[in-house]
Structure 1
Amino acid sequence: MRPPVPRPCGRVRPMTTSPQRWLPREEWIKTQPQALLASCVLLRDPRGRMLLLRYGPGQPASGTWWLPGGMLDPGEDPWTAARREVGEETGLAVGGAPRLIGVDHRADVGGTGPVLDCFFDGGTVGEEARVRLSAEHDGHAFVGVDELAGLALTGPVRTLEALCAAALGGSVAYLREGLPHEAAGVGG
């Protein structure tokens, strides 16, 4: 007996009726979307509150709070960048295997063009740990999800809520402009 032939789901149409023209690779690459990559880490204290850092004077987001993190350096992968940024910004070391808890696509960040943020679960910071801030930041606090509404945040509260839920639930939050996929008006 022959196996059943799969049937298409819905209508399938060719994207173009013109003959396919192939570009040389160097030209084709120039036509592809370009995006900056950044990584952030969700660190929690034993009570489950997340570590937030306040951007200091002279920083683009001065006076706002966000997770430790930043842009990838050339040749870095997102987890390596996340660990480096935590060390530079807090003096804390994050080890172990990477656990991705969120991805956020932002179409434009202050004129940079698209940015893809990778968020990792950094685990729990012990009571004895001492945060040592970089010159980029002038404050830090461990904050519960229920305390976020009163803070000036760099991004949406819903981003941090989704990341905390993903970390606790063992899932990954897919975000667009800082909002969960369905809240961002994305179909599918």
Structure 2
Amino acid sequence: MSRTWLPTEQYAETVMKATGFACVFFTDEHDRPLQLRAVYSTTHPWQMAGGTMDPGERPWQTAVRECREETGIDVSGPPRLLAAVFGQPGQEWPFSTMGLIFDGGRLTDTQIRGIVLDPDEHDDARVLSLQEWESLMPARDFARLEAVLEARLTGTATYFGTWDWEQD
């Protein structure tokens, strides 16, 4: 049986389309996660510092840039991966989503008070216990947060493959 190989341009039209993102996960010194409240999303109201990759960027570059833009915090490497995240497309977003979440470490109270939010993106930054976050987040966002915190606490990166774009 012989195969017929498509020209690159034709083959590219047949494969899955995806957007990439990268985030930085912070906690306070008591391992309570820091989350930012998005002004532009009711679907994902509380988020980690991060965002969509720009063309030509690598995930760590995206995480560092987005964190600086959204919080004023400059993170430095080496990058420590906590999670790989995948989501299927849905009505809200027509592409699959693939992202990496990096460990930003534990912030002091002074560092947390010094966060400078970009008002076009976020209007609040909170540090809460995992239990307190559960009632404020959609189930899939909370499950992702829980998995990322577990990865941080155990030192074992996680794969979170169910961050789909369908409604909870």
How far did residue 34 of structure 1 move? 1.7
Deviation string 1:72-106 (CA, Å, 9 cap, x unpaired) is 01111011101111111111111121111111111
Q: Give the % identical residues.
A: 32
**Which structure has the larger Rg over C-alpha atoms?**
1
- Which one of 136, 147, 156 corresponds to residue 162 of structure 1? 147
Larger relative CO (CA 8 A, sep 6+): 1 or 2? Answer: 2
Which secondary structure does the structure 2 equivalent of 1:140 belong to?
Answer: strand
**Structure 2 counterpart of 1:114:** 96
1:153, 1:134 → 2: CA distance?
A: 23
1:88 correspondence with 2:72: no
- Which one of 7, 21, 36 corresponds to residue 4 of structure 2? 21
TM-score by length of 2: 0.87
Distance 1:63 1:162, change over 3 A: closer
1:101, 1:132 → 2: CA distance?
A: 24
1:132, 1:112 → 2: CA distance?
A: 32
Distance 1:51 1:154, change over 3 A: farther
Structure 2: segments with no counterpart, 5+ residues: none
Number of residue pairs the alignment of both structures matches: 160
Structure 1: segments with no counterpart, 5+ residues: 1-17, 180-188
1:99 correspondence with 2:80: yes
1:47 correspondence with 2:30: yes
1:124 correspondence with 2:106: yes
The one-letter code of the counterpart of 2:128 is V
Are the aligned partners of 2:88 and 2:163 in contact in 1 as well (CA < 8 Å)? no
The one-letter code of the counterpart of 1:122 is G
Are the aligned partners of 2:84 and 2:101 in contact in 1 as well (CA < 8 Å)? yes
The one-letter code of the counterpart of 1:114 is S
How far did residue 128 of structure 1 move? 1.8
- Between 88-97 and 170-179, report the one with greater CA deviation: 170-179
2:69, 2:108 → 1: CA distance?
A: 18
TM-score by length of 1: 0.78
Distance 1:122 1:26, change over 3 A: same
The one-letter code of the counterpart of 1:176 is G
Which secondary structure does the structure 1 equivalent of 2:51 belong to?
Answer: strand
Instruction: Please report the RMSD computed on the Cα atoms of aligned residues, expressed in angstroms.
Output: 1.9
The one-letter code of the counterpart of 1:117 is G
**Structure 2 counterpart of 1:13:** none
- Which one of 131, 134, 138 corresponds to residue 118 of structure 2? 134
Which secondary structure does the structure 2 equivalent of 1:128 belong to?
Answer: helix
